[in-house]
Amino acid sequence: MNAQTPAPQPYAVELVALTKSYGPGKPAVDSINLRIASGSYCCLLGPSGCGKSTTLRMIAGHESVSTGDILLENRNITNLPAAARGTAMMFQSFALFPHLTALDNVAFSLKMKGVDKTTRQKQAADLLERVAMGHLAQRKPAELSGGQQQRVALARALITQPRVLLLDEPLSALDPFLRIQMRAELRRWQKELGLTFIHVTHSQEEAMALADTMVVMNHGVIEQMGSPHEIYNRPVSEFVARFMGGHNVLNTASGKISVRTDHMQLAPDESGLADSAGNRRAVITDIEYQGTYVLVGLQNPGERVSASATAELSVMVPEARFAQAPYALGQSVQLIWSPEAAHALAA
């Protein structure tokens, strides 16, 4: 091995007991510990106000740290100014300067650093080539499609040669169609560039589509961290199961469990299987056709069923199965699941 080449750092970013208090009371970010692998796509996910942006802004150096440390490739950057950290930020709806060309948008931060015009324009042009935007370098943002604007924003963030790219809800202002296109493109660029991306979103669907590692936050703490597959299949808590969606949470004698809505089955309530097998009865309150499946909403039978009742449980019935044996509103059914489909949740 070449002695000149530093060994690759396994972690791009490490947060150690990182805390942010804006005032008295519970901190906005409460002593979180997190290690993000180099070259990975990490999504910070959670409901509004859970501390995602605060965490990202502390990593970026746009927000001071109350206590704890931030390491970037083993360097403690906790007290460094933003420009000296090796991070770059991409903002919501890209935040390009409308009056500047794509080239000048990309070159902007070099201009601020006092880099001469020829050098900065050359570097900006190279980066625009890299994101397949070289031919549109002289266009202004309004003359570019959403996808092209995103590439300019990416080039603008990359011009400082960051080790880690930070993205705060970059797709949330886009229409749904463009959002899905743009997230595929972000994922592709991340792999192609081999950089570490830390992407904040409140959308579990977006996080699952993008992330190598998902970090689910709630009230300033990390509830669960893992691959999308791990988190979807083994939510550790009721909060994670409900926030991810697609799960039913049930009370049992041995505590709360979660069962995926597509791992539960319905049966007409006449076979007498119910209580002996630990399965339950429920009453159908909603039937929604969703194309490949029918989503059946249910309530515990004890409660009075009314037209305005909201479903407590749901079961995804494949379209063909529903067509063979349809269910009706108000019908009593049994809920059936195999023991392997049930996961205990932390109390």
What backbone torsions phi and psi does residue 155 show, to the nearest 5 degrees?
Answer: -60, -40
Least distance to ligand ADP from the beta carbon of 266, Å?
Answer: 37
Least distance to Mg ion from the beta carbon of 237, Å?
Answer: 22
Contacts of 171 (CB under 8 A, 6+ apart): 179, 182, 183, 186, 201, 206
Q: Which stretch binds ligand ADP (CB under 6 A): 43-51, 84-92, 204-212, 282-290?
A: 43-51
Q: Which of residues 87-116 bind ligand ADP (CB under 6 A)?
A: none
Nearest residue (CB) to Mg ion, 186 versus 266: 186
Least distance to ligand ADP from the beta carbon of 90, Å?
Answer: 15
Cβ atoms 68, 18 nearer than 8 A: yes
- For 223-235, the three-class secondary structure string (H helix, E strand, C coil) is EEEECHHHHHHCC
How many residues form the binding site for ligand ADP (CB under 6 A)?
10
Nearest residue (CB) to Mg ion, 151 versus 183: 183
Q: Which H or E run contains 60?
A: helix 52-60
* Angle, vertex CA 211, rays to CA 244 and CA 225, nearest 5: 60
Nearest-Å Rg of the Cα atoms of the chain is 25
Q: Which stretch binds ligand ADP (CB under 6 A): 51-59, 139-147, 285-293, 327-335?
A: 51-59
Q: What is the DSSP string of 121-137?
A: HHHHHHHHHHTT-GGGT
Nearest residue (CB) to Mg ion, 53 versus 285: 53
Nearest residue (CB) to ligand ADP, 73 versus 223: 223
Q: Which does 97 bind (CB under 5 to 8 A by kind): Mg ion, ligand ADP, none?
A: none
Q: Which stretch binds ligand ADP (CB under 6 A): 48-56, 129-137, 296-304, 313-321?
A: 48-56
53 binds Mg ion (CB under 5 A): yes
53 binds ligand ADP (CB under 6 A): yes
Taken in order 172, 178, 181, 186, the sign of the CA dihedral is negative
Contacts of 295 (CB under 8 A, 6+ apart): 261, 286, 287, 288, 314, 315, 316, 317
54 binds Mg ion (CB under 5 A): no
Contact set with Mg ion (CB under 5 A): 53
Contact set with ligand ADP (CB under 6 A): 22, 28, 46, 48-54
